[in-house]
Amino acid sequence: MTQYDAYISAVSSGRQIACKYVQQAVSRHLSDLKRKDWGFYFDRDEADRAIMFCRLCRHTSGKLGGHPFNLQDNQAFILAMLFGWRRKEDNSRRFTQCYLEMARKAGKSELAAVIELY
């Protein structure tokens, strides 16, 4: 089970506390996986590739400067959704924009930098 699969399972079962928007995103992902008659598919290899790239990156400053970027489960879910969902017609990404709101010092800037680099 991948890190994002574990997060999806935890949110959908209620073991992981999440706001209603995260719950809706997880619910949409699970329902979209069941759909067959539309123009999108979830490519696990693309999602895993983005996550592996992120794990190769290092923090740039602060007390974690120089240490490998340790993805949290919710961050792995974000990367998987952004880079895993693809269009059937041309294999382009389904989601090209992301609104990200997190608490202070939760890794927003580092995550955004990794997304931009990838």
In this structure, the number of other CB atoms found within 10 A of the CB of residue 9 comes to 14
Angle at CA 58, nearest 5°, toward 44 and 114? Answer: 50
Question: Whole-prediction pTM value?
Answer: 0.92
pLDDT digits (tens, 9 = 90+) for 64-105: 888 888 899 999 999 999 999 999 999 999 999 998 888 888
Per-residue pLDDT tens for 4-58?
999 999 999 999 999 999 999 999 999 999 998 899 999 999 999 999 999 999 8
- Nearest C-alpha neighbor of 26 from the set 9, 40, 41: 9
Q: Which residues contact 33 (CB under 8 A, 6 or more apart)?
A: 42
